[in-house]
Structure 1
Amino acid sequence: MDLILEAAVTEQQYEKLAAMASSIWNECYSSLLTPSQIEYMLARFQSAEAIQEQIEQQGYRYYFIVANGQKVGYTALKIEFQALFLSKLYIQSKVRGKGYSKLVIGKLVEIANQAKLKSIWLTVNRYNEAAIAAYKRSGFVITDEKVTDIGNGYVMDDYIMELALV
């Protein structure tokens, strides 16, 4: 299977990422969050403007996940201290279950190892059982819990998961 990470570096790509995020989030989180919270979070964290700011001001890197020439999802990461923070990993519903997430994590392990980092960590909605199970299959373990106030009366109720790299 041919899978690559294609860096998003232009405003046009940020627009495409935001559109993909809207589609995936509305499907993925409809059973976990209210429509108004999904809309709020998309506007705050996954609009084209928010993505551009994260890349240009906060050190994030965004990538389209491209499998066999088709964009099937996206991922975002940031190197912090001795770890790689996996901020986003989303696969379109029509292609979930094909092993793409595990392949992406393998590529992120390569990035982390090249940078001589000690771990990869992420936050995941504590009620997103499918995502938690997928991360566990890739070797992540739950290390903590975190509730984050994101404004407008909303919180993110997450597990922190980590993959130790040796």
Structure 2
Amino acid sequence: MTIQINQCNLEDLRTLQEISIETFNETFKEQNSPENMAAYLERAFNLNQLEKELSNSSSQFFFVYFNNELAGYIKVNIDDAQSEEMGDESLEVERIYIKSKFQKHGLGKVLLNKAIEMATERNKKKIWLGVWEKNENALAFYKRLGFVQTGAHSFFMGDEEQTDFIMTKILN
């Protein structure tokens, strides 16, 4: 079993779009209307939006490969790229998704460890992320890794307002 992490760049734009749509659909399509899913996917993962995000120097994307097959990705933000005002001492994990067939192989933990390593290298004091209040598997996963709920914010899935819990881990 080999696990590899590669940073994404603009040449990866279409691959990033494909895995973003695939993993988001796998994770949320059962709990959301087709109309709201379509609206969100078009807004969040169109090529112009992803190109803008990839070009932002305060955001980075990484692919994770399992036995040389693309299995998932993570997006991290610092400074003004963070989706909430969390200050200069924070690193945000905005997206972390693993294809369903690769779950339960520890890849989410590998990607989170990459984010923690990046935060530590940049002298950040905490790492944070938003998790949908109904995503019980993800909430349990983050709690096991030492994240605690420190707030909540609205997340719009199409025209439906949902609640994301803000989970934070203080770094040593």
- TM-score > 0.5 by shorter chain: yes
CA distance in 1: counterparts of 2:143 and 2:99, whole angstroms = 20
Does structure 2 retain, via aligned residues, the 8 Å contact 1:17–1:48?
no
1:152–1:68 distance in 2 versus 1, CA, 3 Å:
closer
- Tell me the C-alpha RMSD between the 2 structures: 1.8
CA offset at residue 152 of structure 1? 5.4
CA distance in 2: counterparts of 1:28 and 1:56, whole angstroms = 26
- In the alignment, which residue of structure 2 is the partner of 1:122? 129
- In the alignment, which residue of structure 1 is the partner of 2:91? 84
CA distance in 2: counterparts of 1:42 and 1:62, whole angstroms = 18
CA offset at residue 154 of structure 1? 3.0
CA offset at residue 124 of structure 1? 0.9
Aligned AA for 1:165?
A: L
- In the alignment, which residue of structure 1 is the partner of 2:70? 71
- In the alignment, which residue of structure 2 is the partner of 1:23? 22
Query: How many residues end up aligned between the 2 structures?
Result: 164
* CA deviation map 1:79-109 (0-9, x unaligned): 1211111000000000111111111111111
Alignment identity in percent? 26
Aligned AA for 2:62?
A: Y
- In the alignment, which residue of structure 1 is the partner of 2:163? 157
- In the alignment, which residue of structure 2 is the partner of 1:55? 54
CA distance in 2: counterparts of 1:130 and 1:152, whole angstroms = 23
CA distance in 1: counterparts of 2:133 and 2:55, whole angstroms = 30
Aligned AA for 2:59?
A: Y
Q: Which runs of 5+ in 2 are unaligned?
A: 80-87
Question: Could you state the TM-score of these two structures normalised by the residue count of structure 1?
Answer: 0.90
* CA deviation map 1:31-60 (0-9, x unaligned): 222222222121111222211111224732
Q: List aligned pairs for 1:89-100, cutoff 5 A.
A: 89-100=96-107
